[in-house]
Amino acid sequence: MEKIQNDTIAAIATPVGEGGIGIIRLSGSGSLKIADGIFEGKHGRNKPSGFLTYTTHYGLIRDKSEKIDEVILTVMRAPKTYTREDVVEINCHSGIVPLRKILELVLARGARIAEPGEFTKRAFLSGRIDLSQAEAVADVVRAKTDLSLKAAMGQLQGGLSKKISSARAGLLNLLADIEASIDFPEEDTGDVPGNMLAGKLDQCRIELEGLLKTFDAGRLLKEGVSAAIIGRPNVGKSSLLNCLVGKERAIVTSVPGTTTDTIEETMDVGGVHIRVIDTAGIGRRGKRPGIIEAEGIRRAGRVMEVSQLLLLVLDGSQPLKAEDRKLLGRIKNRKAIILINKIDLRQKIKSKDLQTAHPAIEISAKKNRNIDKVRAQISREVWGGKIDFTGDAVLTSIRHKNEIGSAVKNLRSAGSSAGSAELASMDIREAINALGRITGETITEDILDRIFDKFCIGK
């Protein structure tokens, strides 16, 4: 396992740009000394190294005689900090120039630029949080809905860690009993009978399989769903997008082919982050499409192929066209909702005429009629219409899913070998290692680097 480095790191911890507050964060044994050299308190040159922990101080950042910015400086002393190192945070005005100049001053006095996620990595390496909690930090930052934030916070607060650690501790105790009976057969070490061993392995396996069952829901919470609005030209796709997201996101005209590229917007449907993608009309426009139109149609087809949910819009004021029928055929084996638009006009299409197993809803995107039914149906298609998120742990990471899956496989193998303590112990050890890779006890440096490389700098 990688050891904590003794150097001091620094980074801008807030998005660079114009705003009220920007933060430069330092962590390491040299943080206070570096702050001493650039901070001047309100009543003279007070040194941060003399400040009490968890105190904030108003003053100036200076580069020799030059005043750089008015700041609020916060001192947090080891070990009760995010990284368990001395930490200094400089709150300055958020602008490219003051942030850059203060960071340059800090670096010139001995700090180095932090790597992506290095503050959180140090929190993990110091033992303040385990690896699954460290990964949850990034999920909290990237949460798009209240439920995705709730799932990330549950993991950050140790909900998943407790379950994994409990299962791992039980397996370690079981392994110790098995190996003691193997190594010291002449002593009364509490030999584990085969039926008892199989029972304990089954109990642990069933608990882990219960966690695996939360992954589909957890993945939806974390990643969301992409929904493509498709249909031939001028059926009301862009009007539907505007209705769903509640703003004039796409240009709407009576001219067929107004949308020539994909337009993406997001919305929260029942706690799930939905990426709604408006596409160019698929089908004939009465003439051979030009280069731009042809590229728009190609992109629409590509989006249609990769989206998890399709919203096929039909013009209910016109009879079904050949292009409509082709699209109905293309969505036959896909998760889709059919929307018969323009019910404010005289109708020539009824849902019963479509002969499809997909749900069909009659709407008017122009008049904003039945759009609430569309949202409700999207929720049903995505998550059965009901979100059951009452547990204290939910899997959101494919890495965690794979490791638990590996542990379950090993425990199943160990159970079938319960009559042979030696064979069972090998499988149990592999299961223990797999669970340890989730919380970080048995993680390798290359996997650790890959995990934290996905973090932003400053976190």
Is 284 labelled as part of a ligand binding site? no
Determine the residue type at 31. S
Q: How far apart are CA 85 and CA 377, in angstroms?
A: 51
Is 238 labelled as part of a ligand binding site?
Answer: yes
In a domain, 458, yes or no: no
Bridge partner residues of 62 (DSSP): 67
User: Does residue 276 fall inside a structural domain?
Assistant: yes
* Residues β-bridged to residue 338: 312, 360
The CATH number covering residue 404 comes to 1.20.120.430
Q: In sequence order, which residues have a C-beta less than 8 Å from that of residue 281 and are 6 or more positions away? A: 231, 232, 233, 234, 235, 237, 256, 257, 259, 297, 300
φ/ψ (deg, to 5) at 233: -60, 145
List average pLDDT for each run of 10 residues in the chain, which is 459 residues long.
Answer: 75 87 96 96 83 95 92 96 97 94 96 95 94 93 88 92 94 87 56 72 93 89 89 88 78 51 82 86 62 70 86 92 90 92 90 83 92 92 66 86 96 82 89 95 86 85
Residue 254 among known ligand-binding residues = yes
- Looking at the fold, whether 373 and 229 belong to one and the same domain comes out as yes
Nearest to 109 by CA among 186, 28, 3: 28
Q: What is the CATH number of the domain that holds 108?
A: 3.30.1360.120
Q: Are both 165 and 99 inside the same structural domain?
A: no
Question: Binding residue per annotation — 219?
Answer: no
Residue 452 lies in a domain: no
CATH of the domain at 321: 3.40.50.300
Q: Are residues 64 and 190 in the same domain?
A: no
What would the DSSP string read from start to end of 247-302? S--S---SSTT---S-EEEEEEETTEEEEEEE-PPPS--SS---HHHHHHHHHHHH
- Whether 247 has a binding-site annotation, put simply, is no
- Let me know: does 144 contact 273? Beta carbons within 8 Å: yes
Within this chain, do residues 91 and 200 fall inside the same structural domain, yes or no?
no
Answer yes or no: is 402 a known binding residue.
no
Cis peptide bond N-terminal to 185, omega within 30 = no
Would residue 400 count as lying in a domain?
yes
Q: Is residue 147 included in any domain, yes or no?
A: yes
pLDDT at 2: 56
214 is in an annotated binding site: no
Strands 87-94 and 19-27: antiparallel
Q: Is residue 358 part of a domain?
A: yes
Please check whether residue 347 lies inside any domain of the structure. Answer: yes
| 425 labelled binding-site residue | no
Q: Is 459 annotated as a binding residue?
A: yes
Domain boundary among 111, 129, 147: 129
The tokens 């009220």 sit on which residue?
A: 20
Q: Name 377's Cβ contacts closer than 8 Å, sequence gap at least 6.
A: 337, 359, 361
- The answer to the question of residue 53 being in a domain is yes
How confident is the model at residue 287, as a pLDDT? Answer: 60
Q: Has 279 been labeled as part of a binding site? A: yes
Beta bridge partners of 361: 339
Question: Under a CB-based contact definition with an 8 Å cutoff, are residues 129 and 367 in contact?
Answer: no
Q: In this predicted structure, what is the pLDDT of residue 46?
A: 81
CA distance 237 to 280: 9
Instruction: Give the residue numbers spanning the domain of 190.
Output: 133-214+393-439
Known binding residue 280? Answer is yes
User: Residue 3, Cβ neighbours under 10 Å: how many?
Assistant: 6
User: Is 347 found in the same domain as 320?
Assistant: yes
Q: Residue 194 and residue 61: Cα distance in Å, rounded?
A: 70
- Ligand-binding annotation for 281, yes or no, is yes
Per-residue pLDDT, 4? 58
Last residue of a domain, which of 114, 129, 144?
129
* Closest C-alpha to 112, from 22, 6, 4: 6
351 shares a domain with 245:
yes
DSSP string, 309-372: EEEEEEETTSPPPHHHHHHHHHTTTS-EEEEEE-TTS-----GGGS--SS-EEE-BTTTTBSHH
| pLDDT at position 250 | 55
Residue 189: the pLDDT is 44
pTM assigned to the model: 0.81
Task: List CB contacts of 218: < 8 A, sequence separation 6 or more.
Answer: 151, 394, 395, 396
Distance between CA 231 and CA 303 in Å, rounded?
12
161 and 77 both lie in a single domain: no
- Residues 237, 333, single domain; the answer is yes
* 189 and 317 housed in the same domain: no
The structural domain count of the chain equals 3
Let me know: does 402 contact 437? Beta carbons within 8 Å: no
* 236 appears as a binding residue in the annotation: yes
Residues 379, 398 share a domain:
no
262 is in an annotated binding site: no
- The answer on whether 22 is annotated among ligand-binding residues is no
Domain boundary among 360, 383, 406: 383
Assess whether 102 and 161 both reside in one domain: no
Instruction: Check whether residue 80 and residue 181 sit in a common domain.
Output: no
